[in-house]
Structure 1
Amino acid sequence: MVEPSYVPVLPTTRAAQLAFSHLDARVRRRIAPLWTVVPRVGPERIRGTRPIPDPDTDPVGLRSWLMPRMNSLIEVMADAGGWVDTAHVEGLLEASATSLWQLATKSSLRLVTGPERDPSQQRYIADLAFLGGRGLGLRVLLDEPPDQAQATELRSLVERLRQPPALLDLILDVGLVLDPLQSGRTALIALDLLAPLLPWRTVVLASGAFPRTVEAAAAQPFRITARHDWQLYRSVRAARPDFPRQLTYGDYSVEHVCRANIAPARHTGPPAWGLLRYTTAESFLLARAPTRGRNHAFRARATARWIVEGGSFRGVDGTGLSAGEQWLHSCAYGDGPRGFGNPEKWIQVGHNQHMNFAVSQLTTAG
């Protein structure tokens, strides 16, 4: 895998996979996604904890659900590199074994484990990574500043897994960023404490700032919220300009950091509204759009026009745009009930535009 300049942390949803597949090839070469396999059933998982008992008690159901999704991911990624975290489904080894083996041996993706996980699962993922020959990602969750005990735990994990440092990637996952200063301190402690432990192949700093909910959306349908994840990365780079190796930027694109911890929704019908998303240099533009009701297509197009005509949209004439921006432009100035999208399409468009923009921004920032 070519050293990436950007690591988007994405759930294995259809919208995210389509967004990646529609990226220009030149952009895809700069990106190495960290895919997190969403759970099949049950309540939302809490970061860093394993639900006991496991809510998914149906091995046959999990196997038939997981295999086509992992085959789809392998097809979407083709020869592109990245990582895949299977923490939510690897508990039932007899059900997930075939899919995990295919990920390890028939794709360019690297498997991921972490210090907080069950030792038997850590060993199993490391053995699969050895068979694949591409190495292993170690994802360290930084919901709190790490201490010396966690550094010892990480070193012990590496020793137990017996993977050479040249095939190990350190993924420092800060999670949700509400306060860039506080999260920045956590990230710096992690870099100073954990990064020097080994000559890691890759060091990624990932965090997310996209809001989970948009408060008072009905009364305030248009919102602007800060990209605290980008602010965090810049502050860390400024504080450690002599970091001995490339520190790769990662974010959660245009979804909340817990999105990959939630099983697919089983709606009885389409939601009444969704969000159009657009990423700018320092913020996310969020626009509430209806999916049904009187004149809903016209109102959704008007919502897209708020983004396109808001002053932050790149290429106001509709040329030279990413696939996501092209779609927003067409939606804004289209007509009639066809082609204005739905919540899943809007998330796909948001991911595509964001990933394009992040690569461009990193290139400009150097």
Structure 2
Amino acid sequence: MFNYNHYVPVVRWKRGEQTALELVDPTLKNSMTPLIEIPPIPWDFENEMPKKTIDKHLENIGAQVKTSWNHEGPVFVDALQVCSEDDEQMQDGRHPLEFIIDEIQTNGITAIPVTGSQRGSNYQQAVKGILARYNDGICFRLEDDDFDELNQNVNQLLQFFNVTTEETDLIIDYKYIDAGHETRTARLVIGTISTLPYLAEWRTLTFCGTAFPTDLGQVSTGTDGSIPRTEWLIYKRIMSANLSRLPSFGDYIISNPSYIEVDPRYIQMAAGIRYTVADKFLIFRGYSVRSPKHNGWGQTKGLCQRIIDHPKYLGQNYSYGDGYIYGCAQGTERTGNPETWRKVGTNHHLTLAVKEISNLHAASTID
């Protein structure tokens, strides 16, 4: 389906990320396969209950994916977060994963179910049903607990789903990677890949992870800071390792893998923009958007000016996100809200990652 010269971003299915993906240059989508991760149903803190039903939460999912992805290539779909209770089902009796895959396939896009060794029995049975119905293969997402008994866990998954390696995509997901453990983690990843059973036979192989933290407390409000892109630095080490098969690259874009929902009545949100560069996430932070003194989200006009003045800014024509940053600084684009800046930062990152991967492998070919 694809080789190592490919990008597998974990796209949380929220409006900012959906629009960011939609606005990526269509030619870059040839080198990308999104892993669509369905987020949990939002929580109503005031009434202490979910804000909506599972049916309402997944309403129009097929049309959304068609609009956002708008490409002939497939997508991976992981519904674990929305199926944390294994008895969750739609009003018509279908498992949520089955519903999601059916809706996406109905809209003309190949959707490959993602599973792993820690999923509930109903989830796994839903995957079996999807395999029988569409015969498009399966994606195994290996995580921390899988690496200790790698051969055993891989073989159990293959046997349970009665699939071959040739119809299986494999994602080795290290999730959050501590920036202070770059060398150690790189060795672990390289060791895992080198000992992976059936290494040459998997339909695709991807390394995934991120060093993006759960919060930005390390960068003080009103200042600019940076966070190492440890996952990308590790991937470049993997490319230099003497492996018989190289993986493609995946990350969590500009998010941490954890889903943490905070009661909005008590949160003090600061305006901020995340801007990815070669080996870092640049963080431009303002002040509380509730403070009249700091002009709410109007602060982002000044933040955008700080970005375009930065030597690592890639120019207004680099991506949709970069053009929006330039326009906001000039006063021709709105100063927006959290969704706006997630869309902008995500679109820029998706564009950068695809181009980085292409350049990295082009350079290694020349060498």
In the superposition, the TM-score normalised over structure 2's length comes to: 0.84
- CA 1:123–1:186: 2 relative to 1, 3 Å: farther
How much does 1:8 deviate?
0.7
Distance (whole Å) between structure 2 residues aligned to residue 220 and residue 154 of structure 1? 48
Given that residues 208 and 229 in structure 1 are in contact (C-alpha distance below 8 angstroms), is that contact kept between their aligned partners in structure 2? Answer: yes
Distance (whole Å) between structure 2 residues aligned to residue 93 and residue 299 of structure 1? 42
The aligned residue for residue 331 of structure 2 is: 334
Structure 2: segments with no counterpart, 5+ residues: 91-95, 362-367
Q: Secondary structure at the match of 2:55?
A: helix
Distance (whole Å) between structure 1 residues aligned to residue 105 and residue 129 of structure 2? 10
How much does 1:123 deviate?
3.0
Which of these residues, 82, 86, 91, is aligned with residue 89 of structure 1? 82
Which of these residues, 73, 78, 84, is aligned with residue 80 of structure 1? 73
Given that residues 5 and 249 in structure 1 are in contact (C-alpha distance below 8 angstroms), is that contact kept between their aligned partners in structure 2? Answer: yes
Larger CA deviation: 181-190 vs 170-179: 181-190
How much does 1:56 deviate?
8.7
Write out aligned runs for 1:312-351 (5 A).
312-315=312-315, 318=316, 320-334=317-331, 339-351=334-346
The aligned residue for residue 364 of structure 1 is: 359
Write out aligned runs for 1:95-110 (5 A).
95=90, 96=96, 97-103=98-104, 106=107, 107-110=109-112
- CA 1:218–1:111: 2 relative to 1, 3 Å: same
Distance (whole Å) between structure 1 residues aligned to residue 142 and residue 104 of structure 2? 21
Distance (whole Å) between structure 1 residues aligned to residue 79 and residue 68 of structure 2? 17
Which of these residues, 274, 279, 282, is aligned with residue 282 of structure 1? 279
Structure 1: segments with no counterpart, 5+ residues: 44-54
Q: Deviations over 1:323-365 (max 9, x none)?
A: 0000111112227xx7112121111111100110111111111
How much does 1:71 deviate?
3.7
Write out aligned runs for 1:132-211 (5 A).
132-142=134-144, 146-147=147-148, 149-178=149-178, 179-196=181-198, 199-211=201-213
How much does 1:29 deviate?
1.6
How much does 1:103 deviate?
3.5
Distance (whole Å) between structure 1 residues aligned to residue 244 and residue 268 of structure 2? 46
- CA 1:7–1:99: 2 relative to 1, 3 Å: closer
In the superposition, the TM-score normalised over structure 1's length comes to: 0.84
Q: Secondary structure at the match of 1:169?
A: strand
Q: Does 1:37 align with 2:32?
A: no
Given that residues 101 and 111 in structure 2 are in contact (C-alpha distance below 8 angstroms), is that contact kept between their aligned partners in structure 1? Answer: no
Distance (whole Å) between structure 2 residues aligned to residue 302 and residue 9 of structure 1? 30
Q: Does 1:229 align with 2:218?
A: no
Q: Secondary structure at the match of 2:205?
A: strand
Distance (whole Å) between structure 2 residues aligned to residue 87 and residue 71 of structure 1? 21
How much does 1:171 deviate?
0.5
Q: Deviations over 1:255-289 (max 9, x none)?
A: 1121xx346x6745996423201111111110113
Given that residues 62 and 106 in structure 2 are in contact (C-alpha distance below 8 angstroms), is that contact kept between their aligned partners in structure 1? Answer: no
Given that residues 9 and 251 in structure 1 are in contact (C-alpha distance below 8 angstroms), is that contact kept between their aligned partners in structure 2? Answer: yes
Which of these residues, 114, 118, 121, is aligned with residue 120 of structure 2? 118
How much does 1:93 deviate?
4.9
Given that residues 170 and 205 in structure 2 are in contact (C-alpha distance below 8 angstroms), is that contact kept between their aligned partners in structure 1? Answer: yes
The aligned residue for residue 294 of structure 1 is: 293
Given that residues 209 and 252 in structure 1 are in contact (C-alpha distance below 8 angstroms), is that contact kept between their aligned partners in structure 2? Answer: no
Q: Secondary structure at the match of 2:113?
A: strand
RMSD in angstroms over aligned alpha carbons? 2.8
- CA 1:192–1:126: 2 relative to 1, 3 Å: farther
Given that residues 145 and 187 in structure 1 are in contact (C-alpha distance below 8 angstroms), is that contact kept between their aligned partners in structure 2? Answer: no
The aligned residue for residue 46 of structure 1 is: none
Q: Secondary structure at the match of 1:194?
A: coil
How much does 1:253 deviate?
0.8
Taking only the aligned residue pairs, the percentage that are identical comes to: 21
Given that residues 146 and 153 in structure 2 are in contact (C-alpha distance below 8 angstroms), is that contact kept between their aligned partners in structure 1? Answer: no
Q: Secondary structure at the match of 1:277?
A: strand
For this pair of structures, how many residues does the alignment match?
A: 342
